[in-house]
Structure 1
Amino acid sequence: MVNITCRVLSRPAINELPTIYRELGQDYDERVLPSIVNEVLKSVVAQFNASQLITQRENVSRLVRDNLIRRAARFGLTLDDVSITHVAFSPEFTHAVEAKQVAQQTALRAAFLVDQAVQEKQSIIVKAQGEAQSALLVGEALRKNKGFLELRRLEAAREIAATLSVSGNKVMLDSQSLLLNVAGNDAKDILGVSK
């Protein structure tokens, strides 16, 4: 249900005054205007759905004004101003519109989450491909150069030592636990230490 308030400013056409008083009486405005306003409003509003009444309010107002001016002229009335001052809908319709908006927002959020999941999946795939390529390159480097493994051990030991040095705890570790393997044959060969 739509509740519309329409303001109409009217006056009788001067040359039609005798006819208006003879046929309609002195209360011509109370007898004619309410009926033609209701008739015109119903016919114009029927052409639009509820959301269009809001979005196309200017068009609705223009149609009401044009139709009322034509209808009032038949009764010898001149309309100076016609305007729709208020449009309200029933609480059921208002709740239905709100529910529809909530559903649309939920659907948009779901679509966003799906897009986000697809992007995360792509990111994971790219990361996995990068790690696989890295593993292949590390394996190839190990086969070609034995010093690469020792370099990795030294880098790991340096990272462990750096982490432990900033720690507030006092820790005593031997070179074996730091993965230095200083006593190992490969390390001695690389460092040039005799066996």
Structure 2
Amino acid sequence: MAGGGGQAAVSFLTKLAKVAAGVGVTASAVSTSLYTVDGGQRAVIFDRFQGVLPTVVSEGTHFLIPWLQKPSIFDIRTRPHSFSSNSGTKDLQMVSLTLRVLARPDVDRLPEIFTSLGLDYDEKVLPSIGNEVLKAVVAQFNADQLLTDRPHVSALVREALVRRAAEFNIVLDDVAITHLAYGHDFALAVEKKQVAQQEAERSKFVVAKAEQERRAAVVRAEGESESARLISEATAIAGNGLIELRRIEAAKEIAAMLARSPNVSYIPSGENGQMLLGLNAAR
């Protein structure tokens, strides 16, 4: 009786183990047959017999055939990328530029991107075409034009870079030049040029001042000449009376100044003579 009960228990445990194994295998098969695509992502399926499937899988949980198919997840959100380039200008000056772009893949072309470039498509493409476009655009301008025509330069870089990125199925939402620096020699040349311009402006001011002084001297000379002419004409008409009148007026002014001075005294000297004596008040 005890032997029969033991065999029944063993049989039950065996059946339970088989059921558990089946459930485990089934759960494992189900887990390997499911994959999840998160928000902001898309999936491309590689099939061992058909290759990369042309269908792009959107967000959600999806089924696949284990071992036969494998998903590759792409991040389709816009991501920033920055890279620098040393480029030569039209006048043979070296300029250092930093370019920032916001890039994302063309969702409808993800199978082509995966086939030709792989998941790291942006790192493979953007630095190379960015340097290519920067060098081509910068070579069209002189060094000083890069500052004065910066909006135009940025527009040309954006247009050319968007066109080149589209050849690789990459969409650029924004392109901007964030940094521009010249070499030491050019910066020194610019500083010397500014100093020379300031000196030239100063020289222009000195020349203009001298010209104004010359004109003022001419005007004064003309005025003195006219005054002398008028005095000469008046003398010719009235004789020496005008000169005597001027002398008397000057003598009156001198006498008035001396009369107001406390250091000058008038002392008569004889019947017709006069004497002015200067006295120092401090003594």
Q: TM-score, normalised by structure 1?
A: 0.82
- Pair 158,16 (structure 1): closer, same or farther in 2 beyond 3 Å: farther
Deviations 1:130-189 (A, max 9, x none): 11221122122223223312221132224334544565x522368xxxxxxxx9xxxxxx
The code of the aligned residue for 1:6 comes to L
Tell me, in whole angstroms, the C-alpha distance in 1 between the residues paired with 2:187 and 2:233.
69
Q: Which residue of 1 aligns with 2:243?
A: 149
How much is the aligned-residue C-alpha RMSD, in angstroms? Answer: 2.2
Q: How does 1:94-113 map to 2 (within 5 A)?
A: 94-113=187-206
1:118 is the counterpart of 2:211 = yes
Query: Larger Rg: 1 or 2?
Result: 2
Deviations 1:21-57 (A, max 9, x none): 2211111111100000000000000001011100000
Taking CA–CA contacts closer than 8 Å with sequence separation of 6 or more, which of the two structures ends up with the larger relative contact order? 1
Moved more, 50-59 or 115-124: 115-124
Q: How does 1:1-195 map to 2 (within 5 A)?
A: 1-145=94-238, 146-164=240-258, 169-172=262-265
Q: TM-score, normalised by structure 2?
A: 0.58
- Pair 159,50 (structure 1): closer, same or farther in 2 beyond 3 Å: farther
- Pair 162,9 (structure 1): closer, same or farther in 2 beyond 3 Å: farther
Identity %: 56
- Pair 72,156 (structure 1): closer, same or farther in 2 beyond 3 Å: same
Tell me, in whole angstroms, the C-alpha distance in 1 between the residues paired with 2:122 and 2:161.
13
Tell me, in whole angstroms, the C-alpha distance in 1 between the residues paired with 2:110 and 2:255.
107
Instruction: Give the length in aligned residue pairs.
Output: 176
Tell me, in whole angstroms, the C-alpha distance in 2 between the residues paired with 1:156 and 1:59.
76
Quote how far apart the aligned CAs of 1:18 are.
1.3
Unaligned runs of 5+ in 1: 175-182, 184-195
